Amino acid sequence: MTITTGARVPDSTFVKPTDDGPEKISTTDLFAGRTIALFSVPGAFTPTCSAKHLPGFVEQADALRAKGVDEIVCTAVNDVFVMDAWGKSAGAAGKVTMLADGNGEFARAMGLEMDGSGFGMGRRGKRFSMLVRDGIIEQLNVEAPGEYRVSTADYLLGQL
């Protein structure tokens, strides 16, 4: 079942690239006492994700922070090394935190998993964005298959 607004983010673990190597971070620790704008993409380095989705959040990072967002997080069902390389190539450092959902645990727990097997991608996370305050989902914007409208940085910014 797909998660809804008003629900608590489910317990899950991401992997974050750091200068000292991969570091696990729980959703409990990530969201506790903070306001997080999180967006999920089907895959790093894929066309819409690289040309529009991640760059939009990089460009709007200051505006989102000015509206009270403590951290902007990008996640995908990719390994931590791919997420790190993608963030570096997109100039995300200091603007968007790249977190790997390598096994799709978070996407599955959210009920937002998709089957990308037809494109050779296997099980992935759907394209979505959300605003989370202290672990509670206040805004959840899930794209219809093939769409890129409601999960954009501009759309989320308009909801703040």
Residue 67 has pLDDT above 60, yes or no: yes
For the residues 13-22, what does the mean pLDDT come to? 96
How many C-beta neighbours within 10 Å does residue 32 have?
Answer: 10
- Judge contact between 64 and 88, C-beta under 8 A: no
Q: Tell me what pLDDT residue 122 has.
A: 55
Distance between CA atoms of 140 and 150, rounded to whole angstroms? 9
Q: Tell me what pLDDT residue 145 has.
A: 87
Q: Tell me what pLDDT residue 117 has.
A: 63
Q: What is the pTM of this model?
A: 0.94
Both tokens of 141, joined, read 């914007």
Instruction: Give the chain's domains with CATH numbers.
Output: 13-158 (3.40.30.10)
Q: Is 49 labeled as catalytic in the residue annotation?
A: yes
For the residues 35-48, what does the mean pLDDT come to? 90
Q: Tell me what pLDDT residue 116 has.
A: 62
Catalytic residue among 15, 38, 49, 100: 49
For the residues 91-102, what does the mean pLDDT come to? 97
Give pLDDT tens digits for 101-158.
999 999 999 999 866 666 766 577 899 999 999 999 999 999 998 899 999 999 999 9
Both tokens of 129, joined, read 């964005």
Q: Tell me what pLDDT residue 120 has.
A: 61
